[in-house]
Structure 1
Amino acid sequence: MNSSLANTTMKGKDQMKSSHSCIPSASSQILQKCCIRGNQKGKHDCDLPCSFSSESHVLSTVNIFEMAQAQLLHHTSKKEDDPSIASQPLNSHSDLSLEVLDDFQLALLLQASAEMFSKRHYERATELLSLCNLSASLTGTPVQRVVYYYSEALREKIDKETKSITGLQLDRLVDFEVKPTGVEELFLCSKPHSEKRLHLIDFGIRSGSHWTILMQALANRGDYPLELLKITAIGTSKQVVDETGKRLSSFAAENMKFPFFFKAVVSEMKDLSKDLFELDTNEVVVVYSEYILGGMLAWPNHLEVVLRFIKNLNPCVIVVIETEANTNEPIFMDLFNGSVFLYAALFDCLEAFMERDNQHRMEFERLVLREVIHNVITCEGEGRIFRNVRLEVWRALFEKFGIKETELSESSLYQANLMADRSAHGFCTLDMDGNCLTIKWKGTPIVFASAWKFVHD
């Protein structure tokens, strides 16, 4: 399995055609597609924050980086290594604002710097990063903010490679989560919908807030009243797990008429054993994993151990929520682009909901996204703990353990779509990929939510 995780599906790159325009044909197609999408009026048209301009509604942050990648591929296909690529203007589309044009140039500088680094042209890469620093900003457009943090990470990567300084070590795993529009609590309301004794096992529980909605729904389930609800929470911090247990127990006492039990299991995932769980043959077991399995991709042997452990629990259903992206590539430019597209979408999402000088936004970007970006770009081997693979990779992996995806209920999908329509200016969309639900921001996949079952012989 190690090879299947390390060597994820390599994507082919389309050959760029020659063009007399300053934008290659691939970039023009991206631009045209976005402009067509932006001209379609709909019910989601609404007042946006002043920092969220109509231009960025037409052209997302990810689209700008896609155009920069296409421009770079067009340039390198002609075997030109001259960093002057960054000075080529994007002047064939006069309808674009100066801000978008400047963002494109900045994204292209970052792409070119990463390309120079991948070719071990460290001096050229550093020169391009210096140019990036002239326009990158912690408080600017999403592109300027993405470039700021990636430039910082690339410079650190270059320093590591040239051994001029000792690289910063990542000492802790940030509690990093992207909530998929609240859809995680919807599956369990319908999957074991008629069971009377329910045992929920939550891998890596955090605040536990996602369970309160489910608990309320179970309390109001008139047709099949619940006789017992147990939640076993797994974590590495006893204090965090205990505090979560107190909050959920208090909520249950106020809102639920049936017995509620909470059990804390403080353990590393790889060290879990069945005797840590108070399992009862009369209970239906549900396993819930939110951004936990993906965090084990750096240790594939440990991941195998955890999957075998889950099988021994004999769960009715396994709910898996993971980031839908590819940041597990062995080739640097594939890794770089996979991460840029993911985090560009997240920065774009923050732009839609918060002003650029919002302190909570800036703290989240500085304390969370910065650390993730640095870890992905600068660390290797087991030190790179933030890894993501696409849904199809999870499918292939789960199939080896006899785990098959199962359908989500129609009611949960209806509720998820309703929440997406209400919460994200129409920019958040939900698509089905097989039986799994993929959450996208302006067309870029961010998260998938899914339900799985073991296929017994």
Structure 2
Amino acid sequence: MKTELRGNPTPISLQNPSLFNTPPQNSVLSGALKGCLGSLDGACIEKLLLHCASALESNDVTLAQQVMWVLNNVASPVGDPNQRITSWFLRALISRVSRVCPTAMNLNGNSIPQRRLMSVTQIAGYVDLIPWHRFGFCASNSAILKATQGYNKIHIVDLSITHCMQWPTLIDALAKRPEGPPSVRLSVPSWRPPVPPLLNVSSEEVGLRLGNFAKFKDVPFEFNVIGDSLPPSPCITREPSCLQYDSLLNQLNPSTLNLREDEALVINCQNWLRYLPDEQNGSNSLDIPCRNVFLDTIKDLNPCIITIVDEDSDLGALNLTSRITTCFNYLWIPFDALETFLSKDNPQRTEYEADIGHKIENIIGFEGNQRIERSESGVKFSQRMRNNGFFSVPFSEETIGEVKFLLDEHSSGWGMKKEDDMLVLTWKGHNSVYATAWAPCGFEE
């Protein structure tokens, strides 16, 4: 049953911003937020967003619309980082209200954002833009190299969202091993979360290109796709991907993966685990296997190392105001980082920000199984790993040096710190991405 919202507001359309023409009538709100009009201050914008979230949670669409009027006077898709991120939060809030009470807000019927399909070259540029992904590649590859020393055969099960962009660097490093390169077998799932970046060629084509690169480097190479291939979708999916995930989980077994005793098994999870359902935060209403079941499954495979890289933020809260606070203060990072070296109208910047904007819409606009963005902080996920029978594998000083060298290629705002056994990518001191490595307790080589 749909929630009933109070009030009789004027319909609002993102395609026609002039319809935001009624200033707040609530005297308390009007007085408290009067100074925010045109303000670029992040604290003031956060205050506005929380007022709107509170109004939505109390089913007061009139008050929510009045706050949106103020937000619309601050937001700009071509402004500074605060203005640009605000424009996406505004869109997400309107999208949420339009689903809860379609008569209250009006989005254009064609407003479902289209996701662009990129070429391999474009995805390589996407990954190189800021070190959001390359940080994890570098840390994980170095840990994998160390864990697989002495093995002549390596089998990597790659669970990631970046279409194998990580592996040319590792293949190149393996080719330089003093004792000679090992054979490499790479298995990737046919199912992936419906999130950017999306590729315009099949996984099989990616495998062929990797095979050609490995051949050039004299590294024996084999590529396998786990499960039935599904065509990529150019738009946001409105249905949960639970069935595909459940099918993949069933295929992560020694028989389907064709595990071999003389191989070093590596499980690599790059920005992937946050898309698995979790019974702890309302995302498992379909009674499907949760994150802990997944961890039990890979533990039974007895890998020599599990590398996990993900966004260092807690975005799984049921409470909307909590999600908005965390989301705004976290996703401000890439908006601010892009400002340092790309012009306001740069197409690459606009497209990258649009991908972040779709993430914001999912975090704020959806609930239940349709909300797939549910990251856990590195501290919380590390505790989850320990509770599920894994022990941490610390990163070596050599790995730390390699990551620092990588960050030197980017703007000075990027840094790295070590928290327990995690490496954490930072922007101006704020945590953004964590990298960890693990092995099952009682791992037998």
Q: Do the structures match in fold with TM over 0.5?
A: yes
Q: How does 1:256-275 map to 2 (within 5 A)?
A: 256=218, 258-266=219-227, 268=245, 269-274=248-253, 275=255
1:240 counterpart = 2:202: yes
Per the alignment, do residues 271 and 204 of structure 1 end up closer, same or farther by CA in structure 2, a change over 3 Å counting? farther
Structure 2 letter corresponding to 1:446: S
SS in 2 for 1:245: helix
Aligned equivalents of 1:360, 1:86: Cα separation in 2:
34
Structure 2 regions of 5+ residues with no counterpart? Answer: 1-26, 118-125, 193-198, 229-244, 278-282
1:398 counterpart = 2:385: yes
Q: How does 1:50-449 map to 2 (within 5 A)?
A: 82-88=29-35, 100=40, 105-164=44-103, 178-181=132-135, 182-183=137-138, 184-204=140-160, 206-222=162-178, 224-236=179-191, 240-256=202-218, 258-266=219-227, 268=245, 269-274=248-253, 275-297=255-277, 298-299=283-284, 301-366=289-354, 368-424=355-411, 426-449=412-435
Deviation of 1:89 after TM superposition, in Å, equals 7.1
1:229-261 CA-to-partner distances (Å, cap 9, x unmatched) read 2111223289622011101100011112x4222
CA RMSD of aligned residues (A): 2.9
Aligned equivalents of 1:174, 1:393: Cα separation in 2:
33
Structure 1 letter corresponding to 2:34: S
Structure 1 letter corresponding to 2:62: E
SS in 1 for 2:98: helix
Aligned equivalents of 2:371, 2:302: Cα separation in 1:
32
Which residue does 2:241 correspond to in 1?
none
Per the alignment, do residues 370 and 227 of structure 1 end up closer, same or farther by CA in structure 2, a change over 3 Å counting? closer
Count of aligned pairs: 366
Deviation of 1:180 after TM superposition, in Å, equals 4.4
* Identical-residue share of aligned pairs (%): 20
Instruction: Tell me the TM-score normalised to structure 2 length.
Output: 0.75
Deviation of 1:311 after TM superposition, in Å, equals 1.4
Aligned equivalents of 1:225, 1:411: Cα separation in 2:
21
Structure 1 letter corresponding to 2:91: E
1:404-423 CA-to-partner distances (Å, cap 9, x unmatched) read 21111211111101211331
Aligned equivalents of 2:406, 2:160: Cα separation in 1:
25
Aligned equivalents of 2:98, 2:40: Cα separation in 1:
31
Structure 2 letter corresponding to 1:389: E
Structure 1 letter corresponding to 2:429: G
CA contact under 8 A between 1:204 and 1:235: conserved in structure 2? no
Structure 2 letter corresponding to 1:270: L
Per the alignment, do residues 153 and 252 of structure 1 end up closer, same or farther by CA in structure 2, a change over 3 Å counting? same
Aligned equivalents of 1:206, 1:150: Cα separation in 2:
25
Which residue does 1:21 correspond to in 2?
none
Per the alignment, do residues 125 and 205 of structure 1 end up closer, same or farther by CA in structure 2, a change over 3 Å counting? closer
Greater alpha carbon shift after TM alignment, 109-118 vs 326-335: 109-118
1:451 counterpart = 2:406: no
Per the alignment, do residues 173 and 315 of structure 1 end up closer, same or farther by CA in structure 2, a change over 3 Å counting? farther
CA contact under 8 A between 2:161 and 2:271: conserved in structure 1? no
Which residue does 1:35 correspond to in 2?
none
Aligned equivalents of 1:81, 1:266: Cα separation in 2:
57
Aligned equivalents of 2:189, 2:116: Cα separation in 1:
17
Which residue does 2:13 correspond to in 1?
none
Greater alpha carbon shift after TM alignment, 144-153 vs 261-270: 261-270
Aligned equivalents of 1:211, 1:161: Cα separation in 2:
43
Per the alignment, do residues 196 and 322 of structure 1 end up closer, same or farther by CA in structure 2, a change over 3 Å counting? same
1:156-192 CA-to-partner distances (Å, cap 9, x unmatched) read 2233333426999989999998414342433212232
CA contact under 8 A between 2:40 and 2:83: conserved in structure 1? no
Deviation of 1:289 after TM superposition, in Å, equals 0.7
SS in 2 for 1:253: helix
Aligned equivalents of 1:170, 1:456: Cα separation in 2:
48
SS in 2 for 1:353: coil
Deviation of 1:375 after TM superposition, in Å, equals 0.8
CA contact under 8 A between 1:160 and 1:166: conserved in structure 2? no
Deviation of 1:83 after TM superposition, in Å, equals 4.1
Structure 1 regions of 5+ residues with no counterpart? Answer: 1-79, 91-97
1:389-443 CA-to-partner distances (Å, cap 9, x unmatched) read 112221222223201211112111111012113312x211111111111111112
CA contact under 8 A between 1:203 and 1:235: conserved in structure 2? no
CA contact under 8 A between 1:86 and 1:109: conserved in structure 2? yes
Aligned equivalents of 1:174, 1:282: Cα separation in 2:
42
Greater alpha carbon shift after TM alignment, 111-120 vs 394-403: 111-120
